[in-house]
Amino acid sequence: MHSCCARKIILWSLCLIFSLSYSMLVCASTPPKHLCRQDQRDALWEFKSEFHLRNMAANEKTQTWKNNSDCCSWDGITCDPKTGKVVELNLWSGSLNGPLRSSSGLFKLQYLQSLNLNSNNLAGTLPDSIGDLKYLKELSLSGCNLFGNLPSSLGNLSHLTLLDLDGNGFTGELPDSLGNLKQLTKLLLPSSKLSGKFPQVLLNLTELTAINLVSNQLEGTLPSNMSSLSKLEYFDVGSNSFSGFVPSSLITIPSLVHLSLERNHFNRLLEIGNISSPSKLKTLSLGGNRLSGPIPGFISKLVELSSLDLSFWDTLRGTVDFSVFLHLKSLMVLDISTLNTRSIVDMSLFSRFESLSLLSLSRNTVKFSSTLRIASPIGSLALASCNISEFPKFLQTQTSLVSLDISQNQIKGRVPAWLWRLPGLTYVDFYRNSFTGFDGPPDVLRRNEIEMLDISSNAFHGPFPLLPKSTTFLAASDNQFSGQIPTTICEMVSLEALVLSNNNFTGSIPRCFKNLNTKLSLLHLRNNSLSGNFPEESVSVGLVSLDVGRNKLSGELPKSLMNCARLEFLNVEGNMFNGTFPYWLRSLPDLQVLVLRSNKFHGPLLYSPPPRGSLISFPKLRIFDISRNILSGVLPVDYFSGWSTMSSGVYTPDNKQNRFIGITFNYRKAVVLATKGTEREFLGTSFSIYKIIDLSGNRFQGDIPKSISLLKELIVLNMSNNAFTGTIPPFLSNLTNLQSLDLSKNRLSSKIPPELGKLTFLAWMNFSYNKLEGPIPQGTQIQSQDSSSFLQNPGLCGPPLQKTCSGGGEEEDTRKQDHQEDEENDQVLSWIAAAIGFVPGVLCGLAIGHVLISYRQDWFKRIFQLT
């Protein structure tokens, strides 16, 4: 369509080159015309009848299967031309839906030599009966949603050459019976949940050319002598938990082309003496392990290498002779980021390469001269955290550049205009430098089709630049941009994430996001000086995360937020919103964090009568902070009923990742909340462990509602600074996970229930400034509190207070408390009197920050791992 597609194609083809996949291309031959055998047809028919086929999907291959026609002519069937036996069944992506039963008709197809059910939903286990298909040579069940253990009967398939079970959910160990598959050439079991050790028996499978166990949970060491696998070309056990030595005998297998051990815990790699026969190795990925010491010299002998990843090799501040890489003339991919070396990488080294396409030197010290020229057409360059203080001018001739990461350096001044003339530039990361502006005309950035631009944490100031309309992801937080957020932002029709927090933007929120698109899922405008209302037109229905905290916005929250069915995070803290409580948010199915703190929301939490369907209420909410508003009224007894996440403790993992241009980026949220009397920062992506309710600093009255005892997962409860009356209910002791309880500054009376002493995690509590009386209970947790937690209650006595319960020495205390009580009553009265109109000064503390980071680590590598 346009040049950006061309770029994607380039990326794709690079990706294909580097991940030399061994998945099989099954070339189906035309089925010969021959009447099939009755038993075979019955078996096929039976097999078909086992699935819930809707005969609708275009790809239902079994649709063409008709009783009373030659089964050898059916789609996906190949018969032996002489005998009419079905020898091949290929229902790849055939819309099969349902588990394979051990009595399935499939296992009656005794003569099958090739079975391919890839990409069907066989949600279930792989039955033992698979071992009955004893003539199978090729078995492909990738992406079938299979789970459970691998049946040991697989070992009965003694003719098997291909076993492809890629992308299922198998658990348990690899069965030792696999050692019987003497003919096996390809063992493909990546992306499951297999555990245990690397099976020694595989060493007996001397025909193996490919072993792929990527992304499992395997551990232990690899066998020390792997030389029996003398035909091995492809070995990939990346993203497991293997440790110990990298066996030299593996690296020296002469036929080996692709070797990946990345993202494990390997910690030793021995220097290999002279490599006897010339190595065929094209890919060597050792990155992300715990390897340390000098980089072994034999690497310079691997002259066929096109891809080398040594990232996170810890040289222990040693020196590295980077010229060893000069021997590797065919290198296309070189990742030597994070070597912990005191050597400086001189970029001129790379002027000698001709085909480098991906180069990552991040987190090493890098130098280059202003006259440097690099001949290789680099597509992706990562120079993050390289102590660079000058813009790399050599990029001027890098017309193939797609992706540039120069984040976390010390580059000052203006971004040169020529950068935006590089035709393919798509991903640009300037995070954490000292850039002040953009050279060139105001529309300089529009000369390109940037999809991802991160200029956050720099010193950009003045009005916001005109951005390319193609931008999908834009982070410009932590700068000093001022003026209005330009309405040109409304022309960016691809926008999915916009982060402009911590600037000095004024004016109102642009009124266009509603119409812009439905993809905008992240909108963070926190800590600016935006004012006026939050208009309905500014709400994109696709929002997942919205943070407009710490601005000067007023009025009501836009009701259209109710339509944002994917909303998980909503923070409007520290504004002047003066509407009523947005009770209508309670039906949002995914809302996890709701922070209205420090505004002027007023009125009761719930209107009576309660809306219909009130049984479902904030089903996923974990953090509910409505503190420091003017909310009032009595909380209905069942107010907290239906808050299922806080009551059930069933953790529903957050598997919806935000995907931006095919790149998964995670943003971490930093939440600062008052807990245990101090403000503390919470970091995370989902806050699954934090269950917090903060109602403090409002004007709530009446009893503490009974339904709060349902929230068994609650960790922090703050109800202080309200006008709650009645007793402290003993059922609070049902909140067994509670760590912090603040009931101070209310009008609670009677005794502290001794049951609270049972709450073993309750480390912090505050009952001060109430009307409590009687002895303080004896529980260890209660007794370990400071006496200040009990102050200013007229009749409370016993340790840790000085006042003893038998009387005496209490006169002074009582006088002081009476005085305090009057003051408190005044305060409560003034709230009631001032129903509308009077607003106490908003003391806004730092509440919630919502910070975008961390997607950038290994950003560039991910681009090349899109599959």
Ramachandran angles phi, psi of 414, nearest 5°: -100, 150
| Candidate list 456, 718, 792, 817; residue touching ligand NAG; CB under 6 A | 718
- Site residues for ligand NAG, window 520-579 (CB under 6 A)? 527, 554-555, 578
Q: How big is the CA angle at 194 (ends 188 and 199), to the nearest 5 degrees?
A: 70
Q: Is 482 in the site for ligand NAG (CB under 6 A)?
A: yes
Shortest distance, CB of residue 236 to ligand NAG, whole angstroms? Answer: 21
- Main-chain phi, psi angles of 651, to 5 degrees: -90, 115
Give the 3-state DSSP-derived string for 447-493, with helices as H, strands as E and coil as C. Answer: HCCCCEEECCCCCCEECCCCCCCCCCEEECCCCEEEEECCHHHHHCC
200 is an interface residue for ligand NAG by CB under 6 A:
yes
Euclidean distance between CA atoms 185 and 819, whole angstroms = 87
- Give 571 or 740: the residue with its C-beta nearer to ligand NAG: 740
By CB under 6 A, residue 739 contacts ligand NAG? no
Write out the binding residues for ligand NAG, residues 37-96 only, by CB under 6 A.
45, 67-68
Cβ closest to ligand NAG, residue 434 vs residue 578: 578
Angle at 449 between CA 447 and CA 454, to 5 degrees: 100
Instruction: State the nearest-atom distance from the C-beta of 791 to ligand NAG, in Å.
Output: 15
Q: Rounded distance, CA 767 to CA 792, Å?
A: 9
Stretch that binds ligand NAG, among 239-247, 307-315, 503-511, 563-571 (CB under 6 A): 503-511
Distance of closest approach, residue 84 Cβ to ligand NAG, in angstroms: 16
Position among 504, 787, 788, 830 found at the interface with ligand NAG (CB under 6 A) = 504
Q: How many CB atoms lie within 10 A of CB 103?
A: 12
Residue closer to ligand NAG by CB (options 330, 734) is: 734
Q: How far apart are CA 522 and CA 777, in angstroms?
A: 48
**How many Cβ atoms from other residues are within 10 Å of residue 266's Cβ?**
22
Residues in contact with ligand NAG, shown as a per-residue x/- string from 766 to 805 under the rule CB under 6 A: ----------------------------------------
- Residue 830's φ and ψ, nearest 5 degrees, are -65, -30
Among 698, 721, 722, 789, binds ligand NAG (CB under 6 A): 721
Q: Looking at this protein, which amino acid is placed at residue 536?
A: E
Q: Which of 267, 387, 686, 725 binds ligand NAG (CB under 6 A)?
A: 387
742 binds ligand NAG (CB under 6 A): yes
d(CA 509, CA 339): 45
Kindly tell me the burial class for residue 276, based on how many C-beta atoms sit within 10 Å of its own C-beta (0-12, 13-18, 19 or more): exposed
Q: How far is the CB of 152 from ligand NAG (least distance, A)?
A: 4
Dist CA 854 CA 670 (whole Å) = 12
Question: Under the criterion CB under 6 A, does residue 131 sit at the interface with ligand NAG?
Answer: yes
User: Residue 594: which H helix or E strand, with range?
Assistant: strand 593-595
Q: Please provide the DSSP assignment of 99-139 as one string.
A: PPPTT-GGGG-TT-SEEE--S-B--EE--GGGGG-TT-SEE
- Residue 488 CB, nearest approach to ligand NAG (Å): 20
**Nearest residue (CB) to ligand NAG, 33 versus 680:** 680
CB atoms within 10 A of CB 822: 10
Single out the residue of 412, 706, 712, 751 in contact with ligand NAG (rule: CB under 6 A).
706
Which of 15, 17, 203, 275 is in the footprint of ligand NAG by CB under 6 A? 203
Q: Does 676 bind ligand NAG (CB under 6 A)?
A: yes
> Element (H or E) spanning 307, and its range?
strand 307-309
Question: Under the criterion CB under 6 A, does residue 155 sit at the interface with ligand NAG?
Answer: yes
Contact string 574-593 vs ligand NAG (x = CB under 6 A): ----x---------------
Residue for token pair 């947005």: 582
Stretch that binds ligand NAG, among 29-37, 97-105, 497-505, 646-654 (CB under 6 A): 497-505
Contact track, ligand NAG, 441-480, x by CB under 6 A: ---------------------------------------x
Q: Positive or negative, the Cα torsion across 53, 58, 60, 63?
A: positive
C-beta closer to ligand NAG: residue 70 or 590: 70
- Total number of residues shown for the chain: 867
Chain positions contacting ligand NAG, by CB under 6 A: 45, 67-68, 131, 152-153, 155-156, 177, 179, 200-201, 203-204, 225, 227-228, 273-274, 365, 387, 389, 480, 482, 502-504, 506, 527, 554-555, 578, 627-628, 674-677, 696-697, 706, 709, 718, 720-721, 731, 734, 740, 742, 764, 846
